[in-house]
């Protein structure tokens, strides 16, 4: 069973350059946490601080309620898996997996039990005598995972472990990771820039941008109730459409066009007193109509993409581009269409702070 991790006002800088700012995190024992964010947002640095591979400039790291800032990496109960598996090239699969256990003087029978279980779980039994150079990328990656799980540590730290695999193998590997967690209940901290991986693996996601936590919540809440414009546009494929709009007495204005808001929204916005807002609507919550209605806007089709199951149609309205996901594509470039907004799926953000302004009672 995994143990708790807590970060209290943790910051990291290299010289004058701040890389992480005032990070506060409380990770429960046995939780699967994904650190998600664009490249350079500070994910790896955060993970490496938990691992003890990176010094903490300010603040406290608590592992199992003990201050751990000064505990060396070797003395933290962690196993780590990296993107470049880092296997010993001259050792067989089984020697790679058991090397650390032998060094730690784990008994021979215990090593054999753990090895056989890991080989079986990860489908490596037939390859146990092979050298890394005679393995496929997927098998190498599974060997690295096996080497980490036999350690039976409290914390399992993974830094983009699946990035070098193709899409099919990644799907298999995600299932394996899930199974590993179901079996050992370690506290997982997993770094990725891939939101699908984050959505599928995480109990909770830490979304990072420029060294700040944007949101720390369940995948469902991150998608349904994004804390700010960055979260709204980063999550989703394509991300949420956002546009600055005017608001007055139940009407939202997009340049010379208006839509009427349902009563629950107009009551909520009237209370806030806001006159300018950022509206957000996901591409999957928009549709295209031939005829207008009170929730639709007139616009021009400017770009189209086939995304496999669906079509992403880009429509220009008041010099803003909106992406709509549709099942069928019957529209021509340059055609004028009506963009229908599903009013129960709208989001609003503060223009100055870009923070979500919340939802009427019916959406709570």
| Cβ proximity of 315 and 299 under 8 Å | yes
Q: Which stretch binds ligand ADP (CB under 6 A): 40-48, 168-176, 262-270, 288-296?
A: 40-48
Residue 19 lies near ligand ADP (rule: CB under 6 A): yes
Q: Should residue 16 be labelled a site residue for ligand ADP when binding is judged by CB under 6 A?
A: no
**Residue 198: exposure state from Cβ atoms within 10 A (0-12, 13-18, ≥19):** buried
Do residues 297 and 257 make contact, with C-beta atoms less than 8 angstroms apart? yes
Is residue 87 a contact partner of residue 114, using CB atoms and an 8 Å limit? no
Tokens of 183: 């079996």
Rounded least distance, CB 194 to ligand ADP, Å: 12
One of 14, 171, 255, 362 touching ligand ADP (CB under 6 A): 14
Non-local (6+) Cβ contacts of 274 within 8 A are: 247, 348, 350, 351, 357
What single-letter DSSP state applies at residue 345? Answer: G
One residue of 37, 138, 161, 280 binding ligand ADP per CB under 6 A: 37
Name beta bridge partners: 205: 34, 217
Q: Which one among 5, 25, 36, 44 touches ligand ADP, defined by CB under 6 A? A: 44
Residue 219's nearest CA partner among 186, 245, 190 is 190
Is residue 195 part of the contact set for ligand ADP (CB under 6 A)? no
Selected range binding ligand ADP among 42-50, 147-155, 167-175, 305-313, rule: CB under 6 A: 42-50
Separation of first and last alpha carbons in the chain: 34
Region binding ligand ADP by CB under 6 A among candidate stretches 36-44, 71-79, 319-327, 350-358: 36-44
CA 321/CA 303 separation, integer angstroms:
10
- Of 30, 40, 250, 262, the one binding ligand ADP by CB under 6 A: 40
DSSP class of 228: B
Task: Indicate which single residue of 41, 98, 143, 228 sits in contact with ligand ADP (rule: CB under 6 A).
Answer: 41
| Given 1, 16, 39, 133, the residue binding ligand ADP (CB under 6 A) | 39
> Per CB under 6 A, does 296 bind ligand ADP?
no
Question: Closest separation between CB of residue 211 and ligand ADP, Å?
Answer: 7
Question: Where on the chain is the footprint of ligand ADP (CB under 6 A)?
Answer: 14, 17, 19, 37, 39-45
């Amino acid at each position: 069973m995994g143990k708790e991790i807590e970060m209290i006002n943790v910051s990291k800088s290299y010289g004058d350059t701040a890389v992480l700012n005032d990070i506060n995190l409380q990770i429960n024992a046995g939780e699967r946490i994904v650190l998600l964010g664009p490249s350079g947002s500070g994910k790896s640095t955060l993970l490496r601080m938990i691992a003890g591979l990176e010094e903490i400039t300010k603040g406290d790291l608590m592992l199992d309620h003990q201050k751990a800032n000064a505990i060396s990496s070797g003395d933290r109960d962690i196993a780590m898996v990296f993107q470049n598996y880092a296997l010993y090239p001259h050792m067989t699969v089984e020697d790679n997996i058991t090397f650390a256990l032998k060094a730690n003087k784990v008994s021979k029978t215990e090593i054999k039990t753990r090895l056989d279980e890991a080989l079986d779980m990860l489908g490596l039994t037939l390859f146990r005598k092979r050298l890394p150079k005679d393995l496929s990328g997927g098998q190498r990656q599974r060997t690295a995972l096996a080497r980490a799980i036999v350690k039976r540590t409290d914390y399992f730290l993974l830094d983009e472990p699946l990035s070098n695999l193709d899409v099919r193998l990644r799907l298999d590997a995600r299932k394996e990771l899930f199974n590993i967690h179901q079996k050992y209940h370690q506290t997982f901290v997993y770094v990725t820039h891939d939101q699908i991986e984050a959505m599928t693996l995480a109990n909770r996601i830490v979304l990072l941008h420029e060294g700040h936590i944007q949101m720390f919540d369940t995948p469902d809440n991150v998608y349904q109730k994004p804390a700010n414009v960055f979260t709204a546009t980063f999550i989703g494929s394509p991300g949420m459409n956002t546009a600055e709009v005017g608001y007055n007495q139940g009407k939202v204005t997009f340049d010379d066009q208006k839509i009427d808001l349902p009563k629950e929204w107009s009551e909520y916005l009237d209370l806030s007193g806001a006159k300018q807002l950022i509206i957000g609507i996901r591409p999957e919550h928009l549709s295209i109509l031939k005829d207008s209605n009170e929730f639709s806007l007139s616009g021009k089709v400017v770009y189209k993409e086939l995304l496999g199951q669906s079509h992403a149609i880009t429509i220009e309205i008041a010099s803003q581009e909106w992406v709509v996901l549709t099942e069928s594509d019957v529209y021509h470039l340059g055609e004028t269409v009506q963009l229908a907004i599903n009013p129960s799926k709208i989001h609003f953000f503060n223009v100055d702070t870009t923070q979500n302004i919340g939802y009427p009672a019916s959406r709570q």
